Chains A and B, each alone.
Chain A
Amino acid sequence: EIVMTQSPATLSVSPGERATLSCRASQSVSSNLAWYQQKPGQAPRLLIYAASTRATGVPASFSGSGSGTEFTLTITSLQSEDFAVYYCQQYKNWPPSWTFGQGTKVEVK
């Protein structure tokens, strides 16, 4: 199983500032990585796939980068609606055994 490790567990950021979230894979997943945003009481929402491609309707303030084992989600100029938990997910395996990171909570500083 590919283990996904996210850091930090909690990130305290002031509105308007930049947030940088990390995701590390236990083995290379190439660019087969997605990012999701989850707000309390809601289902996750796809933000990024293929490591750096924004999903439909996702603002340009969200960007993803990385390949292999190291990935980053950057949120520039945090808005109130961006405070949430973010998960990474790898989908390299075939047949699939897709795995998620444990999440990073972005909270108001």
Chain B
Amino acid sequence: QLQESGPGLVKPSETLSLTCTVSGGSISRSYWSWIRQPPGKGLEWIGYIYYSGGTNYNPSLESRVTISIDKSKNHFSLKMSSVTAADTAVYYCALGDGSYFDYWGQGTLVTVSS
């Protein structure tokens, strides 16, 4: 199971920080992604981290995004800097094999507002 956690409200220009905790299995395998969905809109892949630490990001977000992994805590994290209202969305963490996404967290709504 995957469970997202983090602040539900972030101020404009600040950094959004979320964690995805993996339970019932080891994080030391496969690709771990972040995906977001603005209210009433479609899905956008943000990036992934491979269990060994390699990362890849959506080019449109790459300059503001960092994904990291902590295998000792069985979790991985997302940091997105300089957020604006356009970053308001439900953020999902997901597990895949480097292609599609087999398992998803329930999602967490992050609102960017002062």
Chain B residue with the shortest CB-CB distance to A1: B59
Q: With a CB–CB cut-off of 8 A, which chain A residues contact B58?
A: 97
Which of A15-23, A67-75, A76-84, A99-107 is the interface stretch?
A99-107
Q: Which of A1, A55, A98, A100 has the most CB of B within 10 A?
A: A98
In whole angstroms, what is the CA distance A87 to B107 when docked? 17
The dominant DSSP class at the B interface is loop
Q: How far is the CB of B101 from chain A (nearest CB, A)?
A: 6
**Chain B: number of interface residues, binned into ranges:** 10 to 19
- Could you tell me if B42 and A102 are in contact, using CB atoms closer than 8 angstroms? yes
- Could you tell me if B45 and A99 are in contact, using CB atoms closer than 8 angstroms? yes
Chain B residue with the shortest CB-CB distance to A89: B100
Q: How many residues from A make CB contacts under 8 Å with B?
A: 23
- Could you tell me if B56 and A96 are in contact, using CB atoms closer than 8 angstroms? yes
Residue A95 at the chain B interface, CB threshold 8 Å: yes
In whole angstroms, what is the CA distance A98 to B97 when docked? 13
Q: With a CB–CB cut-off of 8 A, which chain A residues contact B102?
A: 46, 55
Residue A65 at the chain B interface, CB threshold 8 Å: no
Provide the A27-69 mask, 1 if CB < 8 A to any CB of B, else 0: 0000010101000001111100100000100000000000000
Q: How far is the CB of B97 from chain A (nearest CB, A)?
A: 9
- Could you tell me if A43 and B42 are in contact, using CB atoms closer than 8 angstroms? no
List 10 A–B pairs whose Cβ atoms lie within 8 Å, in order of A's numbering: A32-B99, A34-B100, A34-B101, A44-B43, A46-B102, A49-B100, A91-B99, A91-B100, A97-B58, A103-B42
Chain B residues within 8 Å of A, Cβ to Cβ = 41-45, 48, 56, 58-59, 92, 98-102, 104-107
